[in-house]
Amino acid sequence: MKELSLHLLDVAKNSVTAGAGHVDISLTEDDGGWLTITIRDDGRGMSPEFLARVTDPFTTTRTTRKVGLGLPLYRLAAEQTGGSLDIQSTVGAGTTVTAKFQRRHLDCPPLGDLPGTIALLIQGSPDIEFTYRHATPNGTAELSTAELREVLGEDVSLAEPEIFAWIQDYLTEQEEQAAVSIDPAAMIKGEIT
Ligand SMILES: Nc1ncnc2c1ncn2[C@@H]1O[C@H](COP(=O)(O)OP(=O)(O)OP(=O)(O)O)[C@@H](O)[C@H]1O
Ligand SMILES: [Mg+2]
């Protein structure tokens, strides 16, 4: 079973590939176990015709192989928990991918390593602005590369290994505070009402 952080990495990489200058990643958990992951970019967007087919595995603009699987697998993962995937996109303006997961569903993958994933994304695209926010009933983990840049000054690249380590540590501490523990005894199998 794939971790949600790996799906998040896939979808955010699509935003980077689409030429985004700003990628906003937001995770919101409510006290009913529902997790909403929203990834919004200001990249090139998709036409309505393309968008209609984009969660179909036979749709992709990649030239190296025929099928793109990022979004279809993401949709499948969300739907297997009783959730859903929604994509809004406008050519020349950007794309918003919203997925809902029920974390108490037996088929819901674990969150995985969110601090490492965010640190990796930033290191891989040090000139893009990322905003990240994970809000739960217990607390909030937050990071903005624009704010980081302001503190660090123009001479420091966000690709530096020290920055990677700092982001990882900073978010790990915040994620520990915000973490929601899922009670195995309260897991739901099958339909959620
Ligand atoms: N945020 C986005 N902005 C613009 N186009 C997008 C965006 N996300 C996806 N697309 C388009 O949808 C296609 C399918 O995306 P998907 O992630 O499913 O597969 P892929 O990226 O092509 O391949 P894979 O993720 O399997 O490596 C992409 O090739 C791209 O053309
Ligand atoms: Mg992809």
Which residues contact ligand 1 via a Cβ below 6 A?
Answer: 10, 14-15, 18, 41, 43-46, 54, 60-62, 68-72, 95
**pLDDT per residue over 164-173, tens digit each?**
999 999 999 9
Pocket test for ligand 1, best of 6, 42, 56, 60 (most atoms within 8 A of CB): 60
Nearest ligand by distance to the CA of 47 = 1
Which domains are assigned to the chain? 4-179 (3.30.565.10)
**pLDDT per residue over 145-192, tens digit each?**
999 999 999 889 999 999 999 999 999 999 999 999 887 777 777 655
**pTM across the whole model:** 0.93
Place of tokens 């984009």: 54
